Amino acid sequence: MPRPTYAQTIPPPFPRHLAVIILLCMGCAFAGNHVAARVAFDDGAGVLLAILMRSGGTLLVLAILVLWQKQSLRPPPGTWHWQLLLGLLITVQSLCLYSAVARIPVALALLVANVFPILLALLTWVVGGPRPTARTATLMGLILVGLVFVLDVPGRVSTTTNVSQEWLLGVAFAFCAASVFACALWITDHKLSQVRGSVRSLLTIFIVFGSVNLAGLAGALPGGLNLPATSTGWLALATLVVLYGTGFIVLFILVPRLDMPRNAPVMNIEPLATLLMGWIVLDQMLSAGQVLGGAIVVTCIVLLTYRTSAIKADEKARRAQC
């Protein structure tokens, strides 16, 4: 007998102005999460502790939602090893990004980490995907030029002052976060696309939470589980949990209605929001040249991701017509 088919109710997308407002708010929430993390680190909190609290809070809410929706947590056969690898990559990305935030201005860390679209395009090409177009290559080149100004390379070359090791480590961690995140996105798109998004998100956060717990118990990162010294640090940790968890859960629930292929570039507000929050909360201000470089980077990333999103939307429309 043929298997019965079930109609899947797809909720209609929000009006575009509402979707853009929601994504702007979520980008600001993620930006605030990083600024709160820096406040906690400055108060003595360990990086592992911050990730543990963030992932634990998010995992709890996600688990409740998935169980309430009565969704199966079993991914399709043959995807377990890719799901495990995805979770481990996101763990490394979280560690690297927070390690960068703890060492260099938050906006600088986010701008360097947000070059992942370049790395994803190059990775896709290397493993047999389409070659970047001339337009894409030009935008990637402009992003690199913007990064030269973001990192204040001209100023650091012209001065005789030695570059601090903490600054170099911070930049290296941010770039590592971008590289690992690009690999995670490639795996998500090419190896786990058939896995339901809710299940993939829950399993990924579970692996992050478990991996950080194991790293803390093994003492893999000295001082990683240090507690904040004052109530300010605890308040900052609570804030980052709320902001990250809210952003993640809202996107988790509303992504089918946000028309992400068209509106995803709006999320690139995060580095700019981080720049503003870092100035207000942490008194971290980039130079005029670094701000100009940041504007170049964000603008080119928006153009790059907007084009990619438009192509995916066209492909989805063509498939729907077939």
Give pLDDT tens digits for 67-80: 888 888 887 888 89
Mean pLDDT computed over 33-41: 96
Confidence of residue 322 (pLDDT cuts 50, 70, 90): very low
- Phi/psi of residue 222, nearest 5 degrees: -55, 130
Which of 93-102, 140-149, 180-189 is the least confident region?
Answer: 140-149
Q: Given this model, what pLDDT does residue 319 score? A: 45
| The dihedral formed by the CA atoms of 262, 264, 268 and 270, expressed in degrees to the nearest 10 | 140
Domain boundaries, the chain: 16-321
DSSP 104: S
Whether residue 36 has pLDDT greater than 90: yes
Q: Given this model, what pLDDT does residue 161 score? A: 61
Whether residue 39 has pLDDT greater than 50: yes
Q: What percent of the chain has pLDDT over 70?
A: 89
Q: Count other C-beta atoms under 10 Å from residue 73's C-beta.
A: 13
Mean pLDDT computed over 159-187: 88
Whether residue 259 has pLDDT greater than 60: yes
Q: Given this model, what pLDDT does residue 159 score? A: 65
Burial class from Cβ neighbours inside 10 Å (0-12, 13-18, 19+) for residue 273 reads buried
Q: What percent of the chain has pLDDT over 90?
A: 46
The 10s digit of each residue's pLDDT in 127-170 is 988 888 888 889 889 988 888 888 887 777 666 566 788 999 99
Residue the block writes with tokens 């996107």 = 251
Q: Please say whether the beta carbons of 105 and 281 come within 8 A.
A: no
Mean pLDDT computed over 14-32: 90
The 10s digit of each residue's pLDDT in 285-321 is 888 888 898 888 888 888 877 665 545 544 444 444 4
Mean pLDDT computed over 187-207: 89
Q: Annotate 240-258 with DSSP letters as a single string.
A: HHHHHHHHHHHHHHHGGGT
Q: Given this model, what pLDDT does residue 312 score? A: 53
pLDDT, the chain, mean: 86
The 10s digit of each residue's pLDDT in 267-283 is 888 888 998 999 999 99
